[in-house]
Amino acid sequence: MKTMDKGGETTHFGFRDVPVDDKQTLVNDVFHSVAKRYDLMNDLMSMGLHRVWKDVMIQALNPPRNDAPFALLDVAGGTGDISFRAAKASGYGFHATVCDINSGMLDVGRERAVAQHFEDRVDFIEGNAEALPFPDKSFDAYTIAFGIRNVPRIDRALAEAYRVLKPGGRFLCLEFSAVDVPGLDRIYDLFSFKLIPPMGKAVTGDAESYQYLVESIRKFPKPNAFSEMISDAGFSRVKHQSLSGGIVALHSGWRL
């Protein structure tokens, strides 16, 4: 995924090759631009399906429903959706930390936490997935939903996930993937490239950010290749599950 040219290491920003050090700034511009309407756009673009995919992730997480302490780190957690869903499914020992690089997304998340009465159970911390501001072995589970493809150096983010998990801790990653149902792939491409950018323009005033979104999905590694990256980071029992004909995949692994 990362390549070297004469000017140094490059990576993808959508379909463009960019210096790896520039990608994060471009990604941050995208999410600053859409933060306030991010949740509405998720519902419109996925026709509500992102809720189903996130529920599948929470079922796999299976947080304790009793008072046993359970610390979740939700990286690239944005406006807090995964953490709120996990909190709803958990007992009193549950605590989530949403870590995201973008203050605009975190601000929306903090407002939602207050509105939904989660402020005691969910914290919001600004930080980079590639260099997490947490000690080694400090979380029972690590989730990242629709976040990892935005991170310039995925291998670093995976190494950091491994570092901050306690032995016995669970890694779960929900991400757009590759449609594997004949016929659906053409409809999905048409919907993605013809409808999503104009929809993004109508709702957020920003078509380019949603053009990046659909392009970045096409550039993300295929499920088997991504499983291999997770294994290379040290995780055991790595597997993946395809959802909605491959539109999304849920990858998981354990730090043993």
Ligand X SMILES: C[S@@+](CC[C@H](N)C(=O)[O-])C[C@H]1O[C@@H](n2cnc3c(N)ncnc32)[C@H](O)[C@@H]1O
3-state secondary structure of 55: helix
233 contributes a contact to ligand X by CB under 6 A: no
- Of 101 and 122, the one with the shorter C-beta distance to ligand X is 101
- When asked if residue 20 is in the footprint of ligand X (CB under 6 A), the reply is no
Question: Is residue 102 within the footprint of ligand X (CB under 6 A)?
Answer: yes
At its nearest, how many Å lie between ligand X and the CB of residue 183? 27
CB of 23 to ligand X, least distance (A): 9
Rule CB under 6 A: is residue 77 a binding residue for ligand X? yes
Residue nearest to ligand X (CB): 78
Q: Which residue has the tokens 């990256």?
A: 229
Distance CA 121, CA 174 (A): 22
Q: Which of 151, 172, 173, 248 binds ligand X (CB under 6 A)?
A: 151
Residues 85, 100, 209, 255: which binds ligand X (CB under 6 A)?
Answer: 100
| 122 in Cβ contact with 84 (< 8 Å) | yes
**β-strand partners of 30:** none
End-to-end CA distance of the chain: 27
Task: Give the nearest distance from C-beta 90 to ligand X in angstroms.
Answer: 18
Contact between 7 and 15 (Cβ < 8 Å):
no
| Sign of the CA dihedral running 233, 217, 201, 57 | negative
CA dihedral angle for residue 81, residue 87, residue 88, residue 90, rounded to 10 degrees: 150
- Determine if 216 is a binding residue for ligand X (CB under 6 A): no
82 near ligand X, judged by CB under 6 A: yes
Binding of residue 128 to ligand X (CB under 6 A) = yes
What is the number of residues in the chain?
256
**Neighbour tally for 186: CB within 10 Å:** 10
**Is 78 among the residues that bind ligand X (CB under 6 A)?**
yes
Site size toward ligand X (CB under 6 A) is 21
Closest to ligand X by CB, 148 or 179: 148
> Using CB under 6 A as the criterion, which residues of the chain lie in contact with ligand X when the complex forms?
24, 27, 31, 75-78, 81-82, 100-102, 105, 128-130, 145-147, 150-151
